[in-house]
């Protein structure tokens, strides 16, 4: 496995490999790798000749300094994992390498970023777009893999690729979960043992939402689920929304959309967790 910290050097390497006719698969991550990341990596490995994984905790996408400082980091463990899963190239830039000058890029994702994560994490998606665009420019992959766990991010990235006319295929991968349903996330490492047990409540409640959909209208279902979270004192709900899977706008009637997803963001103590479930 080759490790690069320099943009210039990894660019030269991936261009050389492209020139040799190799297809490049890319999985961007913020490290603290878990089985969720590995599912993306495995898929990329199967579908492309060369697998590039980046590990970079992107400060621009954190709107909360506490969240940034407490974000789990373990590069040595990540490298070991990546060696064993057949990663060809790892890109580990530092902040200066990614952002030698203050950034000025301003992306506009319209109404895709005025809901859910966009509302509660101002500037988050602009920060995501800046780093992903730069990583795409540096690595120039044929295919890039993103998890449906961060579905709104995935939608924003698809929009970025379309508006910036980037020649990369975006591949979406299903959410990997623990046995009790909790979506795998690097932030789960910050949960206490007690909180970790309580956390399965999130997916259970999403499943309940899916089950109840035939019996009540979307607005009532939304309120029911909000009430269920509010009644559980372990959790502080930020939002629960049922939205169209393309526009991400709230739906008023089950017939109004062909695909719908329910999204949730909650605080469990000091840890913010997000999840989603396809309703239709
Ligand atoms: P992160 O390191 O959290 O930025 O995540 C890197 C990539 O892994 C993103 O595309 C995430 O959506 C994806 N990912 C994170 N958790 C999961 C999961 N539980 N299942 C599938 N993909 C995931």
Domain ranges of the chain: 2-173, 186-278
pLDDT at 245 over 90: yes
User: What is the pLDDT at residue 97?
Assistant: 98
Average pLDDT taken over every residue of the chain: 98
pLDDT digits (tens, 9 = 90+) for 264-274: 999 999 999 99
Number of H helices, E strands in the chain: 11, 9
From 28, 34, 35, 36, the mutation candidate for ligand 1 (largest count of ligand atoms within 8 A of CB) is 36
How large is the average pLDDT for residues 136-141?
98
- Quick one: 247 exposed, middle or buried, by C-beta within 10 A (0-12, 13-18, 19+)? middle
Ligand 1: centre distance to CA 225 (Å): 25
Strands (E), the chain: 2-4, 24-29, 50-55, 89-91, 143-147, 169-173, 235-244, 260-268, 271-278
From 110, 130, 112, select the one nearest 59 (Cα to Cα).
Answer: 130
pLDDT, average across residues 67-92: 97
Q: Does domain 2-173 have CATH number 3.30.70.890?
A: no
Q: 184 CB under 6 A from ligand 1? A: yes
pLDDT tens profile 187-240: 999 999 999 999 999 999 999 999 999 899 999 999 999 999 999 999 999 999
Take atom 18 of ligand 1 and give the residue whose Cα is closest: 36
Max intra-chain CA distance, the chain: 59
128 C-beta closer than 6 A to ligand 1: no
Atom in ligand 1 nearest the alpha carbon of residue 39: 21
Q: Is 37 a catalytic residue?
A: yes
The predicted pLDDT at position 214 comes to 84
Domain 186-278 bears CATH identifier 3.40.50.360: no
Note whether 264 and 240 are within 8 A (CB). Answer: yes
pLDDT at 184: 98
Instruction: Give me the pLDDT at residue 165, please.
Output: 98
Check pLDDT > 90 for residue 166.
Answer: yes
Distance from C-alpha of 105 to C-alpha of 126, rounded to nearest angstrom: 8
Shortest-distance Cα residue to atom 8 of ligand 1: 37
Mean pLDDT of 149-163: 98
Shortest-distance Cα residue to atom 5 of ligand 1? 29
Candidates 175, 225, 174; CA nearest to 202 is 225
CA of 37 to the centre of ligand 1 (A): 5
Ligand 1 pocket mutation pick from 37, 143, 171 by most atoms within 8 angstroms of CB: 37
Out of 37, 142, 215, 220, the active site residue is: 37
58 pLDDT higher than 90: yes
């Amino acid at each position: 496995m080759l490790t690069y910290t320099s943009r210039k050097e990894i660019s030269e390497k991936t261009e050389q490999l492209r020139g040799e006719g190799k297809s490049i698969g890319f999985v961007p991550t913020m490290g603290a790798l878990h089985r969720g990341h590995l599912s993306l990596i495995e898929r990329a490995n199967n579908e492309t000749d060369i697998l590039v994984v980046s590990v970079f905790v992107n400060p621009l996408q954190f709107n909360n300094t506490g969240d940034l400082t407490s974000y789990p980091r373990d590069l040595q463990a990540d490298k070991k994992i990546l060696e064993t899963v057949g990663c060809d190239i790892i890109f580990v830039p530092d902040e200066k390498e990614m952002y030698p000058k203050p950034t000025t890029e301003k992306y506009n994702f319209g109404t895709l970023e005025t809901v859910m994560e966009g509302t509660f994490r101002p500037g988050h998606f602009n920060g995501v777009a800046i780093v992903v665009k730069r990583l795409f420019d540096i690595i120039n992959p044929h295919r890039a893999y993103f998890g449906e766990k961060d579905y709104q991010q995935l939608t924003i990235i698809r929009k970025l690729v379309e508006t910036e006319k980037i020649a990369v295929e975006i591949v979406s991968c299903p959410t990997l979960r623990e046995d009790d349903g909790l979506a795998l996330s690097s932030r789960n490492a910050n949960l206490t043992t007690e909180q970790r047990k309580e956390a399965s409540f999130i997916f259970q409640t999403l499943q309940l939402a899916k089950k109840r959909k035939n019996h009540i209208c979307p607005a009532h279902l939304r309120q029911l689920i909000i009430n269920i979270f509010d009644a559980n004192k372990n959790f502080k709900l930020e939002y629960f929304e049922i939205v169209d899977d393309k526009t991400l706008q709230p739906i008023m009637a089950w017939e109004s959309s062909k695909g719908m997803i329910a999204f949730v963001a909650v605080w469990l103590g000091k840890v913010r967790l997000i999840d989603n479930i396809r309703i239709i």
